[in-house]
């Protein structure tokens, strides 16, 4: 089996999952862009670091929003 060279990579992802136990789970994964430094120009690397940092902050806000809404629902039940 030959391996196909990938031309893209997931740098940051956020998932909202519902499991069989009835739990809502959030999951954020990110790539350490310092490992990509040798493949990028200095400018590209700096841009990626900034975008991932900003997106992580935004995803944390979404996570906190979802979590606070779920907690509020538990308190009213």
Query: What's the Cα-to-Cα distance from 18 to each of 12, 25, 26, 70, rounded to whole Å?
Result: 20, 6, 9, 13
Kindly state whether residue 14 falls inside one of the protein's structural domains.
no
Residues 65-74 have pLDDT tens digits of 988 887 777 6
Tell whether the torsion through CA atoms of 30, 34, 37 and 40 is positive or negative: positive
pTM greater than the 0.75 cutoff: no
Kindly state whether residue 9 falls inside one of the protein's structural domains.
no
Confidence of residue 76 (pLDDT cuts 50, 70, 90): low
What is the tally of structural domains in the chain?
1
Kindly state whether residue 11 falls inside one of the protein's structural domains.
no
Residues 18-58 have pLDDT tens digits of 888 888 888 889 888 888 899 899 999 999 999 999 999 99
Kindly state whether residue 16 falls inside one of the protein's structural domains.
no
CA distance 72 to 42: 45
Q: Could you list the residue range(s) of the whole structural domain that residue 64 is in? A: 31-77
Kindly state whether residue 2 falls inside one of the protein's structural domains.
no
């Amino acid at each position: 089996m030959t391996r196909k060279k990938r031309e893209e990579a997931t740098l940051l992802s956020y998932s909202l999952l519902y499991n069989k136990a009835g739990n809502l789970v959030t999951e954020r994964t990110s790539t350490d862009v310092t490992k990509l430094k040798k493949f990028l120009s200095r400018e590209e690397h700096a841009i990626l670091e900034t975008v991932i940092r900003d997106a992580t902050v935004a995803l944390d806000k979404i996570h906190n929003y979802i979590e606070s809404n779920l907690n509020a629902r538990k308190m009213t039940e």
